[in-house]
């Protein structure tokens, strides 16, 4: 018997970062040196294992005519309509046995081939390098049959010297990409596993004496208003900044008066680094970042991060982003008042950082490092605590820092995410501190802050953040002297996050707390022909984490979700409040650097939600932190019994690069004359006629007491409703099992409440229907009385609810559900909040008159769940009915039931029926952030307690 051993592809499982690549250097998009993009269509061959094919395809003359094609940049699993495998989503579990550094024999391997000619303009002198900006997870490269080397570090650049190999025409570039490698153990971020050459491939001409690596040091002294510039360069040359009259040699310092760079005032000076072989454009921002008095200060001032975690995502192209998409992200962030981005959890495409410099965003640039899956074995064998892996970690740190060091927007380097603790991380921090002492180091995983300049946590509760703010949290001596940030909080999965306004108040109350970063920017839904957007499990993965990958402030198509609108309001840089006496507006500048001269203020009254004419409000150009009281510019109109309130809007006074004049930055509202109580609507007498009872404009079923019609409109119901399709935050994460309300609700049976009719009483002045609403198998219940009265035109319903038994859980919702014919219920008009709002997501509830189609009232969360409630509703008109509430209520309307919404897994499961189901809620349970974090705060619980509320119905025709 004989054995044939499988040829081992040793580099794939080698813990080293690779071989053959040039040392990392500063990245720049363009210079006057020639370059050739090798993006486009490449020949492609997929193999099931790393060694299925030999390397003969790399040889010149190889005929790849029968190969498939893929687009570079791209991920092969998102191309070829499934012919090239599928994406896999896991949060932290490795989708392969944890046996470092080994990877499965089944290792999808994509051979990529591209033949190219040099353009006629390509210079004959000098040399050239080939740059890969991102390849997942391991690549081996040949040019014209010569092997250049192999590398790992998916979201990091790698360059190879290729000058002597290039030919004018017919160059053959061959790249073998393996999905799994030792590097995969370092790239266990919570996202889709997506192999491929997903960032640009570029050939760069390097003229003789071209610029090598260079480091722009541009500091700002806030005491003198001067900036100091020094550009250290491997190749000597000159640095010029015409706008500042600077022309100095590299390595030489120059100090001049400058305007500083900040995220709010992103002043960039155009300059140039000129060596004898190359001219490289520079965009210089002067700013100084320090840790001083236990605070992160930029240009002498403590800053407050109003940030977000951004993964790179496009629903069709995955992490292969084009410039337009990157710019869209930045513009959306700026337009929603965000001032900071953590590039979770890897350095982004470098062009994104150019945009952050240009438009103004503070950046925490995070290294491509996460070993989260080792938590399953109590971090045993964690690569970050194993010296054999340290060269790979240092290589990753260097590739990030060297590539990105010239961006003024970057204020922190982050070592990575969720990688435990260990010597490798310390080595990275030491190297980074040594290489760039002008920035700070972040890492969340080490609560002792051994290696970091900030105490950073994720998903800490409000109470804990408050303690930290007060300095009562303890910890190591070093930690106690450090500022605090929440690098992740407010888990934006599905409906939510709730409670972010409550966090913001705490952030702003304590100097030590310097803000936070919402998790996360975008839902990573994959566009799918049948499912709309696919999430974990939709590709048949044997291990997956479902829709935990859809937890962004924007939907996969980049439409803002209500969570982003809420966040915009919570972090608005101007506070507008009514003063106690009601005669003035208090305006506070909450920027860190900018005064208010770039804003104009508009004031208007509204009567019953309807805006009357707008006035200009003269607000002084307050400096950061200042506030002023501004007299109301007009007397309140006579509302003639209607509610009167005012709205003040702070608008951009001029066009900016990120939004036009008139863009709303902040707003405030106040009611000055409350509405009148609703009419008692009584006097008419219920009349029994066979199986019907009539009362004023309404007809009821005499046996059940159910309302059947009102003024000619067929009505199904209304009756008590406590169920909502649990949100991701209701369901909670599996590791949080004490107060996962969605789970407890279902256990109690709140999704299958039964209504037992106890009696229908047709009295002199009212029709009273008594019921008990309760789930099978339980002794708890809600005794519910519906009392109907009418004055002949209006129909008033007062609902009294008395809980019975020991209610240990809050209710999902408490209110009425009724059905209206879909054919005549196409839209709604209401006075209340314009967008979706729940008890702890209602900061942005702008109370005006609104209208929307039933379709527009749905919020398209990728996994269907409770959505779309409007808060503070005074009245709503739809389907021929006007419904007024006392007190104000929550309103939602959908063309399916809550049960259908609950059962659906994707939006495509939801099919409109012939009834529009309307919820008129007296209360809603808060949303919280328990899909990964704390649940709703107790003040947002909807407790089961004796309750009474009323509605007045009338026909609108």
Pick between residue 202 and residue 930 the one whose CB is nearest to ligand GAL. Answer: 930
In the complex, least distance from residue 521 CB atom to ligand GAL, rounded to whole angstroms: 12
Alpha carbon separation from 148 to 42, 74, 165, 201, 202 (Å, rounded)? 19, 22, 10, 15, 15
- Contact yes or no for 928/499 (Cβ under 8 A): yes
- Contact yes or no for 810/902 (Cβ under 8 A): no
**505-544 mask for ligand GAL (x: CB under 6 A)?**
--------------x-------------------------
Pick between residue 345 and residue 796 the one whose CB is nearest to ligand GAL. Answer: 345
Per CB under 6 A, 488 contacts ligand GAL: yes
Pick between residue 84 and residue 521 the one whose CB is nearest to ligand GAL. Answer: 521
313 half-sphere exposure, CB direction, 13 A CA radius:
30
Pick between residue 191 and residue 514 the one whose CB is nearest to ligand GAL. Answer: 191
Nearest to 555 by CA among 529, 532, 530: 532
Residues whose CB falls within 8 Å of the CB of residue 63, separated by 6 or more in sequence, listed in order: none
Q: Which residues pair with 667 in a beta bridge?
A: 649
Nearest to 872 by CA among 847, 835, 836, 843: 847
Using the rule CB under 6 A, which residue among 35, 417, 486, 547 binds ligand GAL? 417
In the complex, least distance from residue 288 CB atom to ligand GAL, rounded to whole angstroms: 30
In the complex, least distance from residue 89 CB atom to ligand GAL, rounded to whole angstroms: 11
Using the rule CB under 6 A, which residue among 129, 458, 565, 648 binds ligand GAL? 458
Q: Which residue is nearest to ligand GAL (CB)?
A: 190
Q: Which residue's entry shows tokens 């063309």? A: 895
In the complex, least distance from residue 497 CB atom to ligand GAL, rounded to whole angstroms: 11
In the complex, least distance from residue 340 CB atom to ligand GAL, rounded to whole angstroms: 16
For the chain, the helix, strand and coil percentages under 3-state DSSP, each to the nearest 5: 15, 40, 45
Alpha helices in 470-616 (DSSP H): 477-480, 500-509, 562-570
Pick between residue 418 and residue 453 the one whose CB is nearest to ligand GAL. Answer: 418
Pick between residue 382 and residue 871 the one whose CB is nearest to ligand GAL. Answer: 382
Which 3 state secondary structure label does DSSP give 546?
Answer: helix
The DSSP line for 810-853 is --SEEEEEEEEEGGG--EEEEEEESS---TTS-TT--EEEEEEE
In the complex, least distance from residue 874 CB atom to ligand GAL, rounded to whole angstroms: 38
What CA–CA distance (Å, rounded) separates 18 from 398? Answer: 14
Pick between residue 375 and residue 669 the one whose CB is nearest to ligand GAL. Answer: 375
**Region for 202 from its dihedrals, namely left if φ exceeds 0, alpha if ψ lies in -120 to 50, beta otherwise:** beta
What CA–CA distance (Å, rounded) separates 468 from 470? Answer: 5
Question: Among residues 488, 520, 566, 731, which one is catalytic?
Answer: 488
Pick between residue 461 and residue 897 the one whose CB is nearest to ligand GAL. Answer: 461
Where in 813-872 is the site for ligand GAL (CB under 6 A)?
Answer: none
Q: Is 147 a catalytic residue?
A: no
Using the rule CB under 6 A, which residue among 395, 418, 436, 840 binds ligand GAL? 418
In the complex, least distance from residue 372 CB atom to ligand GAL, rounded to whole angstroms: 8
What distance lies between CA 467 and its chain's CA centroid? 26
Q: Is 488 a catalytic residue?
A: yes
Residue 493 burial (CB count, 10 A): 30
Residues whose CB falls within 8 Å of the CB of residue 505, separated by 6 or more in sequence, listed in order: none
What CA–CA distance (Å, rounded) separates 521 from 512? Answer: 25
In the complex, least distance from residue 394 CB atom to ligand GAL, rounded to whole angstroms: 22
Using the rule CB under 6 A, which residue among 523, 551, 643, 730 binds ligand GAL? 551
Where in 232-271 is the site for ligand GAL (CB under 6 A)?
Answer: none
Residue 292 burial (CB count, 10 A): 9
Where in 874-913 is the site for ligand GAL (CB under 6 A)?
Answer: none
Alpha carbon separation from 439 to 269, 412, 432, 448, 548 (Å, rounded)? 20, 6, 9, 20, 33
What CA–CA distance (Å, rounded) separates 891 from 813? Answer: 11
Where in 914-943 is the site for ligand GAL (CB under 6 A)?
Answer: 932
Pick between residue 418 and residue 572 the one whose CB is nearest to ligand GAL. Answer: 418
Using the rule CB under 6 A, which residue among 31, 71, 91, 589 binds ligand GAL? 91
Nearest to 483 by CA among 516, 522, 505: 516
Pick between residue 195 and residue 536 the one whose CB is nearest to ligand GAL. Answer: 536
In the complex, least distance from residue 449 CB atom to ligand GAL, rounded to whole angstroms: 18
Where in 157-216 is the site for ligand GAL (CB under 6 A)?
Answer: 189-190
The DSSP line for 622-643 is PPTT-EEEEE-SSPPP--TTS-
E strands, 117-195, in order: 127-132, 135-136, 138-143, 146-152, 158-161, 171-178, 191-193
- Contact yes or no for 862/906 (Cβ under 8 A): yes
Alpha carbon separation from 623 to 14, 505, 557, 750, 911 (Å, rounded)? 56, 21, 38, 53, 53
Sheet holding 599-607, edge to edge: 610-617, 599-607, 644-652, 664-673
In the complex, least distance from residue 416 CB atom to ligand GAL, rounded to whole angstroms: 10
Total number of residues that touch ligand GAL (CB under 6 A): 13
Pick between residue 307 and residue 573 the one whose CB is nearest to ligand GAL. Answer: 307
- Contact yes or no for 575/569 (Cβ under 8 A): no
Helix (H) or strand (E) holding 392: helix 390-404
Helix (H) or strand (E) holding 687: strand 687-689
- Contact yes or no for 268/241 (Cβ under 8 A): no
- Contact yes or no for 753/515 (Cβ under 8 A): no
In the complex, least distance from residue 625 CB atom to ligand GAL, rounded to whole angstroms: 33
What CA–CA distance (Å, rounded) separates 88 from 78? Answer: 11
Where in 336-375 is the site for ligand GAL (CB under 6 A)?
Answer: 345
Helix (H) or strand (E) holding 815: strand 813-821
Question: Among residues 13, 159, 278, 418, which one is catalytic?
Answer: 418
Pick between residue 107 and residue 417 the one whose CB is nearest to ligand GAL. Answer: 417
Count of residues for the chain?
957
Pick between residue 13 and residue 728 the one whose CB is nearest to ligand GAL. Answer: 728
What distance lies between CA 301 and its chain's CA centroid? 27
In the complex, least distance from residue 190 CB atom to ligand GAL, rounded to whole angstroms: 3
In the complex, least distance from residue 523 CB atom to ligand GAL, rounded to whole angstroms: 11
Q: Give the catalytic positions in this structure.
A: 418, 488
Binding site for ligand GAL (CB under 6 A): 91, 189-190, 345, 417-418, 458, 488, 491, 519, 548, 551, 932
């Amino acid at each position: 018997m004989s054995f044939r051993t499988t040829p081992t592809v040793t580099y794939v499982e080698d813990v080293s970062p690779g071989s053959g690549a040039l040392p990392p250097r500063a990245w720049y998009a363009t210079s006057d040196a020639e370059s050739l993009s090798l993006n486009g269509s490449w020949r492609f061959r997929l193999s099931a294992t790393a060694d299925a094919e030999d390397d003969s395809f790399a040889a010149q003359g190889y005929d790849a005519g029968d190969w498939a094609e893929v687009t570079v940049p791209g991920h092969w699993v998102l191309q070829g309509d499934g012919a090239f495998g599928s994406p896999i989503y896991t949060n932290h579990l490795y989708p392969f046995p944890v046996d470092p550094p080994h990877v499965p024999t089944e290792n999808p391997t994509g051979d990529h081939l591209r033949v190219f000619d040099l353009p006629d303009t390509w210079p004959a002198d000098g040399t050239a390098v080939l740059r890969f900006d991102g390849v997942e997870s391991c690549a081996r490269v040949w040019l014209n049959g010569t092997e250049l080397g192999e590398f790992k570090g998916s979201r990091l650049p790698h360059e190879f010297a290729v000058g002597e190999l290039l030919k004018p025409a017919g160059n053959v570039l061959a790249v073998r990409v393996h999905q799994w490698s030792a590097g995969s153990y370092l790239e266990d971020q919570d996202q889709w596993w997506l192999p491929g050459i997903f960032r640009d491939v570029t050939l760069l001409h390097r003229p003789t004496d071209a610029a090598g690596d260079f480091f722009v040091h541009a500091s700002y002294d806030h005491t003198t208003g001067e900036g100091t510039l020094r550009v250290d360069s491997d190749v000597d040359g000159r640095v010029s900044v015409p706008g500042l009259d600077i022309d100095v040699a590299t390595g030489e310092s120059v100090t001049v008066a400058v305007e500083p760079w900040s995220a709010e005032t992103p002043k960039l000076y155009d300059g140039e680094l000129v060596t004898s072989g190359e001219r490289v454009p520079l965009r210089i921002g002067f700013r100084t970042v320090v840790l001083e008095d236990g605070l992160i200060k930029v240009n002498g001032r403590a800053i407050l991060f109003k940030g977000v975690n951004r993964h790179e995502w496009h629903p069709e192209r995955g992490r292969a982003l084009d410039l337009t998409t990157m710019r869209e992200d930045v513009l959306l962030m700026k337009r929603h008042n965000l001032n900071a981005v953590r590039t979770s959890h890897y350095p982004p495409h470098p062009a994104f950082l150019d945009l952050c410099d240009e438009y103004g965003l503070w950046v925490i640039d995070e290294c491509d490092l996460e070993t989260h899956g080792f938590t399953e074995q109590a971090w045993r064998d964690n690569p970050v605590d194993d010296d054999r892996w340290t060269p790979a970690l240092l290589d990753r740190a260097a590739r990030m820092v060297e590539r990105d060091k010239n961006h003024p927007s970057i204020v922190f380097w982050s070592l990575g995410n969720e990688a435990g603790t260990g010597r490798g991380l310390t080595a990275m921090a030491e190297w980074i501190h040594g290489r760039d002492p002008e920035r700070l180091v972040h890492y969340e995983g080490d609560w002792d802050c051994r290696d970091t300049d900030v105490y950073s946590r994720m998903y800490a509760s409000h109470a804990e953040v408050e303690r930290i703010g007060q300095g009562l949290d303890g910890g190591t001596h070093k930690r106690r002297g450090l500022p605090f940030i929440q690098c992740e909080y407010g888990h934006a999965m599905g409906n939510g996050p709730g409670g972010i306004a409550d966090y913001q108040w705490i952030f702003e109350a304590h100097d030590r707390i310097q803000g936070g970063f919402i998790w996360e920017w975008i839902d990573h839904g994959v566009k799918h022909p049948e499912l709309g957007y696919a999430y974990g499990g939709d590709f048949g993965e044997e291990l997956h984490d479902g829709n935990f990958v859809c937890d962004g402030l924007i939907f996969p198509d980049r439409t803002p979700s209500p969570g982003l609108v809420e966040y915009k309001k919570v972090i608005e840089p101007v506070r507008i409040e009514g003063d106690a006496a009601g005669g003035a507006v208090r305006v506070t500048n909450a920027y860190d650097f900018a005064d208010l001269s770039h804003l104009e203020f508009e004031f208007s009254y509204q009567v019953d939600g309807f805006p009357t004419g707008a006035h200009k409000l003269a607000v002084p150009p307050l400096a950061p932190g200042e506030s002023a009281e501004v007299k109301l510019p007009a007397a309140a109109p006579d509302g003639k019994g209607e509610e009167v309130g005012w709205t003040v809007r702070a608008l951009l006074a001029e066009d900016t690069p990120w939004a036009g004049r008139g863009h709303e930055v902040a707003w405030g509202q106040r009611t000055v004359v409350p509405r009148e109580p609703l009419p008692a609507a009584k006097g008419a007498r219920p009349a029994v006629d066979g199986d019907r009872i009539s009362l004023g404009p309404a007809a009821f079923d005499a046996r059940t007491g159910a309302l059947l019609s009102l003024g000619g409109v067929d009505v199904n119901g209304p009756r008590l409703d406590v169920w909502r399709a649990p949100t991701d935050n209701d369901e909670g994460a599996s590791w949080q099992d004490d107060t996962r309300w969605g789970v407890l609700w279902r256990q109690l049976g709140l999704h299958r409440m039964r209504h037992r009719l106890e009696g229908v009483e047709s009295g002199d002045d009212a029709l009273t229907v008594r019921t008990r609403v309760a789930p099978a198998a339980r002794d708890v219940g809600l005794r519910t009385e519906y009392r109907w009265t009418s004055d002949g035109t209006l129909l008033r319903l007062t609902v009294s609810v008395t809980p019975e038994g020991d209610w240990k859980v809050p209710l999902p919702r408490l209110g009425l559900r009724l059905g209206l014919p879909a054919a005549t219920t196409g839209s709604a008009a209401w006075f209340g909040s314009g967008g979706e709002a729940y008890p702890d997501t209602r900061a942005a509830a702008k109370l005006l008159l609104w209208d929307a189609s039933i379709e527009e009232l749905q919020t398209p969360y990728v996994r269907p769940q409770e959505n779309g409630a409007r808060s503070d509703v005074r009245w709503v008109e739809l389907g021929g009915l006007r419904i007024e509430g006392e007190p104000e209520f929550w309103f939602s309307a959908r063309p399916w039931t809550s049960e259908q919404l609950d059962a659906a897994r994707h939006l495509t499961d939801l099919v409109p029926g012939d009834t529009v189901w309307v919820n008129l809620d007296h209360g809603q349970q808060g949303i919280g952030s328990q899909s990964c974090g704390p649940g709703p705060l107790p003040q947002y619980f909807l407790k089961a307690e004796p309750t009474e509320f009323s509605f007045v119905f009338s026909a609108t025709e």
